[in-house]
Chain A
Amino acid sequence: MIEFVSFMVVALDSAVRLSVPLLLACLAGMYSERAGIVDIGLEGKMLVAAFAAGVTAFLVPNPWVGMLAAIAVAVLFALIHGYASINQRGNQIVSGVAINVLASGLTAVLGNAWFREGGRTPQLPGHARFQEITLPGADLVKDVPFLGTLYSDIISGHSAPVYLCILAVPLTWFVFYRTRFGLRLRAVGENPHAVDTAGISVMKMRYGAVIICGILCGMAGAYLAIGQSAGFNNDMTAGKGFIALAALIFAKWRPVPALGACFLFGLLDAVAIRLQGVALPMIGQVPVQAIQSLPYILTVILLAGFIGKAIPPRAAGMPYSKDR
């Protein structure tokens, strides 16, 4: 029993860390797709952001400067996607694939050219990374059973982006449901004609959404490179952008459920890592791959309409033109 509790504490703690990039990317996708721009390039934007963060934090050993650089680069890539999708009315899926492939190649080429470490950026010293923050009182309550453990071991002791990310959920909720921008954003992904005839520029709204998407992807990438790790690694996103996409569908494009979905998927990942090679009583050894595949399987089942129905924003993926 004690073994189980300590197992869960460790798993939950690492689930929080693992779900942060998912959640940021998921919210990024939410802004974009809610505005009608399908984005399967979350993975690529996160990757270039992680790279930019790793490089910049090495040059200017300050994690916040690293994050700013990450955001700038991710926004640049988001604008490429925006230009292809909004101005050129190109295929948004193709554009997303292009961003992913381009990101994967470019980060490796530049990383190798600049640092000659096989695509990695140099290991960063502690002060160039986001440090873990011990929340006030965490040490005091450490020994209080359950609640104390929860507070000191799971809630406390993460780096700044983790808390920023968690804050981003209520903030996104507020933006979506309590602000003019959010109202228009949600409308433009459902019926851009209604937005246009209400005297609002569809193009401006969509660019706004795409830029926010870039900012959040930038934060996600920065966290990967200079929060969770001590530098950039080749393809360090490792499919997180797609899990985030799955979580977005799973959350039916809503912010609060997104928190749940990302935490669930992060937990699955954490558990899978810790169950590697461990035989469970009664069940035996659970294949890690089965647990890691669960997010994808659940998403497919959801998409198939067997458990509820995930209905994307109606105008998602469709270029807007005035003619009907």
Chain B
Amino acid sequence: MSAQARGELPLWYSAGLVPVLNVACAFLVAGLVVLAIGASPIDAVRILLRGALGSPYGIGYTLYYATTFIFTGLAVAIAFHAGHFNIGGEGQSLLGGLGIALVVLNLAFLPSPLLILLTIAGAALLGAAWAFIPGWLQAYRGSHVVITTIMFNFLAFGLLGYLLVGPMKRPDSMSLETLPFVEGARLFRADEILGWMGIAMPRTPLNLSFALALLCALFTWVLVWRTRLGYEIRTVGANPTAAHYAGISSKRITVIVMLMGGAFAGMMATNEILGVQQRLIADFTAGAGFVGIAVALMGRGHPVGIVLASLLFGVLYQGGAELAFDMPLMTKDMIIVIQGLVILFAGALENMFRERIAGWIFRKPVEVAP
């Protein structure tokens, strides 16, 4: 009997058409908002795409934004695979930034490559540590990880706020920032690297951490679908009682996925802090942790989907910045609206179309074998 005859929906439908429809719905509603404020959605899309993809400069920025979202998207997705919802990307990224600053400000004497490796490790480590506590509390004390990670976001803001007005503050500055980093602690930018190869590219913030993000996505794919640990993670997420039967400890897996999620979120700081800011500043995450939720939902937890969704959000953020120039009505907040709509339609309302449209296309009810 063919898969379809048994009620299995083909991949192009369940992983292709349905998510695309959900996201399309989000954009449709966003278009209505644009209309409502008296602007033209078509003009907006044109300017947005031209700004994001119409020049090497735009593309550089698009990829720079995408880098951040790949990290925070993976941070949400890895926990999702084990059935947990990590809303703590924001706080874990902040701690990642702190990890970088601590390494650079204390070990500046180290040779550059070693220093950079250590900063990346520091970012991952502190991000993981910040996620470990909610993970451990979920596994061993039954405290819901959603609530604790929300609380830990605010605690991270408090901690960084304290450090940046107090112990780590740059003495000669009014703003909340540390001393600038040494030159050795900077990730090379894409324009520099391409320049060595003789390719000219305008200066953009796109830097080596883009490669690190892609590596993390690849790592996640291998881990989840090609390792024994990944098998255990997926088993805990899909059927915790079967995991118990198979001798898999759900508690251990919970702690592990939170540690990894925290590490991914922490490494997001390599892009912002190590790649661009060159000093630790307050609030550098700017909501990237929440974009991560949208990206993970839209990409359905799969690294390829997450990279694609991150690119889309990269386009939106960069194009949105251009848009704000050309159409003063369209501030960057329009992108936040789209983000919220994507979370709503691709996340909370994900099943709205699945069965209804399957009924039209396949002319039969969707049924799971008993």
B328 / chain A contacts, CB cutoff of 8 Å = 116
Contact across chains for B151 and A103 when beta carbons are under 8 A apart: no
- Identify the closest chain B residue to A111 (Cβ): B333
A95 within 8 A of B: yes
Measured CB to CB, the closest approach of chain B to A301, in angstroms, equals 10
Contact across chains for A299 and B151 when beta carbons are under 8 A apart: yes
A300 / chain B contacts, CB cutoff of 8 Å = 133, 137, 143, 148, 151-152
A88 within 8 A of B: yes
Interface size range on A against B: 35 or more
B193 within 8 A of A: no
Which of A19-27, A156-164, A198-206, A242-250 lies on the face that meets chain B?
Answer: A242-250
Measured CB to CB, the closest approach of chain B to A110, in angstroms, equals 7
Contact across chains for B87 and A93 when beta carbons are under 8 A apart: yes
- Identify the closest chain B residue to A96 (Cβ): B348
A288 / chain B contacts, CB cutoff of 8 Å = 162
Which of B9-17, B101-109, B337-345 lies on the face that meets chain A?
Answer: B337-345
Contact across chains for B344 and A304 when beta carbons are under 8 A apart: no
Flag A275-299 by CB within 8 Å of B: 1 or 0 each: 0000000000001111011001101
Which A residues, 45 to 104, have Cβ-Cβ distances below 8 Å to chain B?
A: 80, 84-85, 88-95, 97-104
Contact across chains for B155 and A93 when beta carbons are under 8 A apart: no
Question: What is the size, in residues, of chain B's interface with A at 8 Å between Cβ atoms?
Answer: 50
Measured CB to CB, the closest approach of chain A to B193, in angstroms, equals 35
Contact across chains for A108 and B348 when beta carbons are under 8 A apart: no
Given A109-B334, A287-B166, A289-B161, does the pair A89, B148 have CB atoms closer than 8 Å?
Answer: no
- Identify the closest chain A residue to B334 (Cβ): A109
C-alpha gap A277/B240 in the complex (Å)? 51
C-alpha gap A232/B344 in the complex (Å)? 25
A119 / chain B contacts, CB cutoff of 8 Å = 331, 333
B33 / chain A contacts, CB cutoff of 8 Å = 106, 109-110
Contact across chains for A246 and B151 when beta carbons are under 8 A apart: yes
Task: Give chain B's interface residues, CB within 8 Å of chain A.
Answer: 33, 36-38, 85, 87, 133, 137, 141-144, 146-148, 150-152, 154-155, 158-159, 161-162, 166, 290, 293-294, 297, 328-331, 333-341, 343-344, 347-352
The 7 closest A-B CB pairs, nearest first, are A102-B340, A105-B336, A95-B348, A108-B333, A105-B337, A113-B37, A101-B340
